[in-house]
Structure 1
Amino acid sequence: MQKHFWQTVGLGTLAGFRSITAPALLSNNLSKFHPRALAKSPLGLLQKPWIASALRFMAAGEMVGDKLPAAPDRTSPPVLAGRALSGALVGATLYKVNHGSVVKGALLGGTVAIAATYGSLFLRKKSAAKSGLPVSVVGGFEDILVIGAGLALSKGTALGSPSGRAL
């Protein structure tokens, strides 16, 4: 399998846990690498430093908002659609950078995000029930997992940079 396939699976999974974190990580890296494949594409906006900053700010806000009692259920149709779109965005972008099918990348990223949304909900409920901890505390541990996995996916790598072809 090619690198961008696994990057899409990884970021799609993160999008299922926290919808804004995946595009924030990708945008942060793209703002450093500027692949030419995105030059004339609307997806090229993710290369802009101000977009990367805005997404990081939104990701932090999402992590705080997730703990509030009024936070919507992650599987409610609008929230699930947002997570699917987030996964689709990162998948489409990674595939575009690597001269692959944008549609294939979007479908892969969106599908993985939906699966991860349900998986993360199951894990959160099961963890809260088994540990006796409040769901919001378990959500904090979920944030740590997402941040750690996201940094592991992107640290020291050219996440979002083309594999096997020139920029």
Structure 2
Amino acid sequence: MTAVGMGAMAGMRALSAPAFLSQHLAEEGASSKANPVEQFLASSTTARVLPVLALGELVLDKLPGMPSRVVPPVLLMRLASGALVGAAVARQKERPMLGFAVVGAAAALVTSFALYSLREFATRKLHIPNILAGFLEDALVASAGHRLTAAMG
């Protein structure tokens, strides 16, 4: 479920899932059995850089004229992010990296389209300002990130 949750976060905000996971792994320290993805995310440099990039993504999301999350280049980034966090979670669960990477990417794909549709509905039909819808999504990502990393122990 952690790979699904992290992948879903990647579908909402591509950099938030790796940022939360990186912070968690850097605090925990990479084990001797860490896979290369987990080692990369656990590095102190990665744990410092990813949150800054994730914050930039949160800001950019609110700007008019930004490409949709479901256009191919942006969607591919979200899928890659979901695969990355899924692979990193695999070792913690002692499961095959490839399987968890696929699970993370699939969750990112589903969530990208689901949240795109939900945000479109909220802004067009319910007349919720896009910036407010974005902040609500940010709150959901932050809550999920904190809960998922806390559950990882």
Amino acid of the structure 2 residue aligned with 1:137: L
Cα deviations by residue, 1:68-109 (Å, 9 ceiling, x for unpaired): 113111001010000000000000111134332111011110
Who is 2:104 aligned against? Answer: 109
Q: Secondary structure at the match of 2:33?
A: helix
State TM-score, norm by structure 2. 0.92
Paired with 1:42 and 1:107, the residues of 2 have a C-alpha distance of 14
Who is 1:98 aligned against? Answer: 93
Answer yes or no: is the 8 Å Cα contact 1:87–1:106 preserved in 2.
Answer: yes
Paired residues in the alignment total 152
Percent sequence identity is 34
Q: 1:42 to 1:142 in 2, by over 3 A?
A: closer
Residue 24 of structure 1, CA deviation: 0.6
Out of 105, 111, 119, the residue aligned to residue 124 of structure 1 is 119
Out of 33, 41, 54, the residue aligned to residue 37 of structure 1 is 33
Residue 129 of structure 1, CA deviation: 2.7
After TM superposition, list the pairs within 5 Å mapping 1:7-156 onto structure 2. Answer: 7-33=2-28, 34-38=30-34, 41-155=36-150
Q: 1:25 to 1:42 in 2, by over 3 A?
A: closer
Mark the runs of 5 or more structure 1 residues left unpaired by the alignment.
1-5, 162-167
Moved more, 89-98 or 54-63: 89-98
Residue 126 of structure 1, CA deviation: 1.2
RMSD, aligned CA: 1.5
Structure 1 segments (4+ residues) deviating >3 Å: none
State TM-score, norm by structure 1. 0.85
Mark the runs of 5 or more structure 2 residues left unpaired by the alignment.
none
Residue 131 of structure 1, CA deviation: 2.8
Answer yes or no: is the 8 Å Cα contact 1:12–1:88 preserved in 2.
Answer: yes
Answer yes or no: is the 8 Å Cα contact 1:37–1:99 preserved in 2.
Answer: no
Residue 130 of structure 1, CA deviation: 3.6
Answer yes or no: is the 8 Å Cα contact 2:90–2:100 preserved in 1.
Answer: yes
Residue 42 of structure 1, CA deviation: 4.8
Q: Secondary structure at the match of 2:147?
A: helix
